Amino acid sequence: MSSEVIGREVKRRRTFAIISHPDAGKSTMTEALALHARMISEAGAVHGKGGRRSTVSDWMEMEKARGISVSSTALQFKYSASGDDDDFPHVINLVDTPGHSDFSEDTYRVLTAVDAAVMLIDAAKGLEPQTLKLFQVCRHRGIPVITVVNKWDRPGQTPLELIDEISDRIGLIPTPLYVPVGIAGDYRGLLDRRTGEYIKFTRTAGGAKIAPEDILDAETARATEGAAWIAAAEESELLGELGQDHDQEMFLAGQTSPMIFTSAMLNFGVRQLLEALVEFAPPPRGRVAIDESTREVTDPFSAVVFKVQAGMDSSHRDRLAYMRIVSGEFERGMVVNHAQTGKPFATKYAQAVFGRDRATVDTAFPGDVVGLVNAMALAPGDTLYLDPKVQFPPIPSFAPEHFSSLRVTTADKYKQFRKAIDQLDAEGVVQVLRNDLRGDASPVLAAVGPMQFEVVTARMKAEFNVDTIIEPLGYSLARRTDEASAPELTKQRGVEVFTRSDGAILALFSDKWRLQYIEKEHSDLVLEPLVAAA
């Protein structure tokens, strides 16, 4: 395929993730986006669902209720933005971030696969712990962020309070594209700061349909909305005086964030979000390889594996690897090279990740996410390519802060236990550490968040029928060391040395004072920090 065609496909793609604290409305917004993209004709499958928390089940629920194809990893839809040729709409990839409140490396890896993020915050709650952590990851990776203040139909803070909170606490300057007309709890419409016009929304029954919009000029808006319009106009002017207008360069540099006020439940402001994604979020770009050359999007096929998962279909235990395409065109059936092993990998069973029925995917372009079946050899961070060879840098693993020993409780299950540990390790669920003292039967698991341990024991039981016990260890930080330093460290109180499955030698310390003391007393020892958790 010509690079001109690939270039055109790349230009119309946007690949993003929604980052939010649980309950801010990610599932509802996902559904609202699907409604606007006309993937579903009516919203409501996840509204008022009460109690359910994970986006995975929400998406599955949507799929069941509405017959649309979704999966736990990526949702792809076409969207004709204003000014688009309807025969050549934009292609939007919404990549799911794990929905639990515990930060995990998994989340970090998913964010390596996107070009932009939508930070969804609850108008009443403002910034919450998970939003902050996810935002730090975006900053670390240089991912531009669009801020969405959701639930504007409910009482909440004022726009200026929210703007101040974001600037003060995360140092990101919000540049509202629109100012809401009506305070939180009385959401009438939006003042478009670029045109000065009023976009007046009309509610639909149960928020099931796209909310009709009327565009009114400022004079008519003032006559119909009175004080609410005047307040919005004053806020807009003030923001202008403060210089908080959208600036594409500053947005791409991660210094400012276009801001939109929405009600995902009423479908207010959702079209504006899609338009902002199309207009401002960057299309897929080339990626820098280990040798510092750049693989451009129009170069031959290459992709990065960012997530590995045990087969969703419990009847056959295969492994799915999700790759984000970096360059070139992907065609199902292509035999590509696996940079880490140098071996060929046949993609006969590539599947569109949108589709629980595992619909096969025939072609895909940079920015798209494709699931590969039977991907036993693939691990997160791996590179797949067609000649010329390319290898992208590995996804850095985070500094673990939680350490537990894992023991199998039934002696005759030891073989299964080994297999399970190897699999969970390869998937990157936890880091696995071993030393001679503890032996193979009792490895130490290291994780960024303690919930990862629960995932391990639950999956051990469900997928391998192995009962295990997790015992927290009294260590709280790790440092990378080397063979020469290991004997001296082993002698120290409150320290234990391990080899991680990737070969790295790690020393665990009971607390930071212990570490500081040893660093002072033994300045010759190698003790390097791991990549810090966000």
100 binds ligand G4P (CB under 6 A): no
Residue 464: its H or E element = helix 451-464
Residue from 6, 15, 25, 107 that binds ligand G4P (CB under 6 A)?
Answer: 25
How far apart are CB 114 and ligand G4P at their closest, in Å?
Answer: 17
The 52-71 site mask, x for binding ligand G4P (CB under 6 A), equals -x-x----------------
Residue ranges in 465-496 assigned as alpha helix (H) = 486-491
Strand 444-447 to 468-472 pairing: unpaired
Cα gap 270→263, rounded to integer Å: 8
When the beta carbons of 24 and 352 are compared against ligand G4P, the nearer one is: 24
Comparing C-alpha atoms, which of 425, 417, 341 is closest to residue 380? 425
Q: Which residues are annotated as a binding site for GTP?
A: 96-100
Measured from the CB atom, the residue of 20 and 244 that comes closer to ligand G4P is: 20
Show Cβ contacts of residue 162 under 8 Å, excluding neighbours closer than 6 positions.
121, 123, 126, 149, 156, 174
Return the number of other C-beta atoms located less than 10 Å from residue 202's C-beta.
12
- 342 is a site residue for ligand G4P (CB under 6 A): no
Rg (CA), the chain: 25
- 272 binding ligand G4P? (CB under 6 A): no
Kindly give the pairing relationship between strand 302-310 and strand 383-385.
antiparallel
Q: Which stretch binds ligand G4P (CB under 6 A): 147-155, 306-314, 339-347, 456-464?
A: 147-155
Least distance from ligand G4P to the Cβ atom of residue 472, Å: 28
Note whether 125 binds ligand G4P by CB under 6 A: no
Q: Does 24 bind ligand G4P (CB under 6 A)?
A: yes
Cα 218 to Cα 230: distance, rounded to the nearest angstrom: 10
Does position 28 interact with ligand G4P (CB under 6 A)? The reply is: yes
What's the min distance (Å) between Cβ of 215 and ligand G4P? 22
Counted residue by residue, the chain has a size of 534
- DSSP SS3 for 435: coil
Cβ of residue 47: shortest distance to ligand G4P, in angstroms? 5
Residue 212 CB, shortest distance to ligand G4P, in Å, is 17
Stretch that binds ligand G4P, among 41-49, 66-74, 287-295, 423-431 (CB under 6 A): 41-49
Instruction: Pick the closest to residue 469 from 510, 534, 410 (CA basis).
Output: 410
Task: Report the C-alpha gap between 321 and 377 in whole angstroms.
Answer: 9
Three-state DSSP state, 373: coil
| Residue whose CB is less far from ligand G4P, 151 or 324 | 151
Query: Is there binding between residue 263 and ligand G4P (CB under 6 A)?
Result: yes
Which of 23-31, 292-300, 378-386, 409-417 is the region at the interface with ligand G4P (rule: CB under 6 A)? 23-31
Q: How far is the CB of 32 from ligand G4P (least distance, A)?
A: 8
Residue 516, both tokens:
């500081």
Per-residue tokens: 70: 């979704």
Of the candidate residues 49, 209, 407, 413, the single one contacting ligand G4P (CB under 6 A): 49
332 alpha-carbon distance from chain centroid:
25
Q: Known binding site: residues?
A: 96-100
Closest CA to 145 of 250, 74, 55: 250
**H helices within 112-181, ranges in order?**
129-141, 159-170
Alpha-carbon gap, residue 140 to 224, rounded angstroms:
45
Binding ligand G4P (rule: CB under 6 A), the pick from 27, 72, 130, 256 is: 27
| 506 lines the binding site for ligand G4P (CB under 6 A) | no
Q: How far is the CB of 153 from ligand G4P (least distance, A)?
A: 5
Query: With the CA atoms of 94, 390, 136 and 354 taken in that order, what torsion angle do they form, in degrees rounded to the nearest 10?
Result: 20
Tokens of 193: 């700061």
Minimum CB separation of residue 122 from ligand G4P in Å reads: 8
| Count of residues interacting with ligand G4P (CB under 6 A) | 21
Nearer to ligand G4P, 57 or 435 (CB): 57
Smaller CB distance to ligand G4P: residue 25 or 400? 25
In this complex, which beta carbon is closest to ligand G4P, that of residue 71 or of residue 485?
A: 71
Interaction of residue 48 with ligand G4P, rule CB under 6 A? yes
Name residue, tokens 């207009």: 279
Binding residues for ligand G4P (CB under 6 A): 20, 22-28, 47-50, 53, 55, 150-151, 153-154, 263-265
